[in-house]
């Protein structure tokens, strides 16, 4: 899970994780909600799954906007764990 992925594996994983794009060695997706309350409720769900996976996002929130970046600092790159968390986050939006 924490083994650094190669370029072809990353392209493959991105294809299976809609909404996420490469951003300077990480994968990133931005989100917009009706207001801060909605955004914060979503962040709580993400925080919960992040803690369960022991894999934590880099994120920036301004009112109703949220930018999430995922990478595995232990591996100094992207791993399957980043895509697992990204897929779990996508499922919250479904």
| Binding-site ranges for ligand H2B (CB under 6 A) | 54-56, 72-74
Asked if 13 and 70 count as a contact pair (C-beta separation under 8 A), the reply is: no
Q: Which residue is nearest to ligand H2B, using beta carbons? A: 74
Q: Measured from the CB of residue 30, what is the shortest distance to ligand H2B in angstroms?
A: 18
* Element counts in the chain: helices (H) and strands (E): 3, 4
Of 18 and 25, the one with the shorter C-beta distance to ligand H2B is 25
Rounded to the nearest whole angstrom, what is the least distance from the CB of residue 55 to ligand H2B in the complex? 5
Q: Which is nearer to ligand H2B, 39 or 55 (CB)?
A: 55
Query: Do the Cβ atoms of 27 and 12 come closer than 8 Å?
Result: no
* DSSP category for residue 76: T
């Amino acid at each position: 899970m924490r083994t650094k992925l190669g370029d072809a594996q990353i392209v493959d994983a991105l294809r299976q994780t809609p909404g996420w794009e490469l951003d300077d060695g990480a994968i990133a997706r931005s989100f917009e909600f009706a207001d801060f309350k909605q955004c914060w409720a979503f962040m709580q769900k993400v925080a919960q799954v992040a803690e369960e996976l022991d894999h934590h996002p880099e994120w920036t929130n301004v009112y109703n906007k949220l930018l999430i970046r995922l990478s595995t600092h232990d591996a100094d790159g992207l791993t399957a764990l980043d895509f697992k968390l990204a897929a779990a986050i996508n499922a919250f939006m479904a």
